[in-house]
Structure formats: C-alpha cells, structure tokens
C-alpha cells in the first residue's frame, strides 16, 4: 500500500490484503537500516488473521520516499501522520529497536490513538558505540558487519534458521547494504540521542509488551529494566539464547508472544 505522508510517498506491506475498515489494525515499525521485510512472517500472520497490517518502510528506507528522519520524536510524529493518511483512528503499534523507541514515543504522545504497544529489543537509553557511529557516519561497510556480529546470539551466528534455506547473517548484511547512504547513521544517531523514553513510558495508557533477547548485545535485556518499571503493568517476555535480531532468530517465539498479547 502506498499513501502520502508528510509530502512523501510512503510504502507499507499489507500481506497482499486490501484494507478493511471493520478490522483492527497493527502497524509494524522496523529498526535501523531495515525495512518492512524484517516482519515478513509475523506481519503476514496477522494480515491473514482478521487484522489490517501496515508493515511500514520508514522515510528514506525501503520504498518510502524522503530522507531518514532525524529523531525518535520525528518518527513518532510520522507514525501519527501515517495513521491520518491511512484514515486509521486507532492501531496497535509493534516496533523493533529504533522502531520500538518510536512506538513508545508515539504511544506517549498520542495515547488516544494507540491500542497496544509491543516493543522488541528496546533499551532506554539506547547508547550506540562510538566505533559503530564512526563507521556508519563514513558509510563504511564495517558498520553493517559490526551490527550483524552484535545482533545475533552466539548460537545463531552459525545459522540454524527456523526458516528453511535462509542464511540469516547474509540476509541481514544484504538488507543493510541496500539502505541509502546515511540512513544507518541517521537511525543510530536517533537512537543514541533519544532521552525521552522514560517520560514517554509514563504517559502510555495502553497495554504494553516487551520482548527481549536474553543474549542481546545491541540493547541488553538489563537495559530495559527502567523501562519495564516505568510501563505500569507491562508484560515482559524474555527469549533465551536470542540476540537483537529477534524476528529472524526466533520468529515463532516472537509470533507466539505477539499473538498472546494482541488476542482480541
């Protein structure tokens, strides 16, 4: 699906389904230098189980126009504008990493429009290592290699994908290599500078789910402790032997957690 958001064409994967105003909507938001396809299995499941799905490409990512947005707050406002453009009053928001921060911020800013939030691999704050920032700023391939090396749990560095025949490491590298120059750096800076996470959490009025990878090095599970405390009554699912690339490493466990949480 395409619609114009903030003067640029935005793309969202819908699971090959037409939008049905009678159905609830789930919006999936990807992380740094990614696109909608990181949610392929989970978003397709909901699209075929009585939900509208919008797995978005953020501005400057995938097929969406414009440039990467400079801050988590800007992405949160873009998500609200996307709901306006798609004429969606309320939606559940699901985000990964940078996308999780944007979902959190959007739920704090627009509590009346957000029915549920699911945050995968969140950390508040989410500092980014200088070496990674420097490589991303230089558009150095090293940045993709560092992220890939840190994003998969040790057991998954050698594969063993639940999805037959797909090499997760190669897939992750190829996806980031397709991002436009500067996109990764902009995304990482947005993560690094975001300071409003706990304040946003205090304003959230909807049910919240955190899905954490026990072996996450990019956003260690322990760094979600303050967020967990600030999100009153939130559910936390910690997945063992899993890193930061949760949707790829443990697609079924992620789907099961989302299904249990978003069940009508």
Contact residues: another protein, CB under 8 A: 13, 16, 35-37, 40-41, 44-45, 48, 62, 129, 131-132, 142, 145-146, 148-150, 155, 157-167, 169-171, 174-175, 177-178, 251-252, 255
Closer residue to another protein, CB minimum distance, 21 or 164: 164
Shortest distance in whole angstroms from residue 19 CB to another protein = 15
Shortest distance in whole angstroms from residue 124 CB to another protein = 24
Closer residue to another protein, CB minimum distance, 48 or 222: 48
**CA-CA-CA-CA dihedral for 23, 28, 213, 185, to nearest 10:** -170
Write the DSSP assignment of 33-80 as a string of letters: T--GGGGHHHHHHHHTTT-EEEEEPPTTSTT--S---SSHHHHHHHHH
- Closest by alpha carbon to 196, among 28, 58, 71? 71
* Residue with the two structure tokens 């490589």: 135
- Closest by alpha carbon to 172, among 124, 218, 103? 218
Closer residue to another protein, CB minimum distance, 94 or 208: 94
Shortest distance in whole angstroms from residue 11 CB to another protein = 9
How far is Cα 108 from Cα 198, in angstroms, rounded to an integer?
10
Helix (H, G, I), strand (E, B) or coil at 124: coil
Closer residue to another protein, CB minimum distance, 41 or 206: 41
Shortest distance in whole angstroms from residue 256 CB to another protein = 10
Shortest distance in whole angstroms from residue 141 CB to another protein = 9
Closer residue to another protein, CB minimum distance, 37 or 139: 37
> How many residues in total does the chain contain?
264
């Amino acid at each position: 699906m395409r619609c114009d958001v903030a003067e640029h064409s935005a793309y969202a994967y819908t699971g090959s389904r037409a939008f049905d105003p009678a159905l609830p909507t789930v919006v999936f938001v990807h992380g740094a230098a990614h696109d909608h396809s990181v949610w392929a299995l989970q978003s397709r499941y909901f699209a075929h189980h009585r939900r509208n799905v919008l797995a978005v490409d953020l501005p400057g990512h995938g097929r969406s126009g414009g440039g990467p947005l400079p801050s988590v707050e800007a992405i949160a406002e873009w998500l609200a504008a996307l709901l306006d453009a798609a004429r969606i009053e309320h939606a559940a928001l699901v985000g990964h990493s940078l996308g999780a921060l944007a979902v959190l911020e959007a739920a704090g800013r627009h509590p009346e429009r957000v029915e549920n939030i699911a945050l995968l691999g969140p950390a508040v704050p989410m500092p980014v290592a200088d070496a990674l920032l420097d490589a991303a700023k230089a558009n150095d391939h090293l940045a993709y290699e560092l992220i890939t090396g840190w994003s998969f749990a040790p057991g998954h560095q050698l594969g063993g994908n639940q999805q037959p025949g797909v090499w997760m490491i190669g897939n992750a590298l190829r996806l980031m290599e397709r991002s436009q120059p500067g996109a990764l750096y902009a995304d990482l800076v947005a993560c690094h500078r975001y300071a409003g996470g706990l304040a946003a959490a205090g304003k959230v009025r909807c049910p919240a789910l955190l899905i954490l990878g026990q072996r996450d090095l990019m956003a260690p599970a322990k760094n979600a402790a303050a967020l967990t405390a600030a999100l009153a009554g939130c559910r936390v699912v910690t997945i063992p032997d899993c890193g930061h690339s949760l949707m790829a490493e443990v697609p079924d466990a992620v789907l099961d957690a989302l299904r249990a949480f978003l069940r009508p």
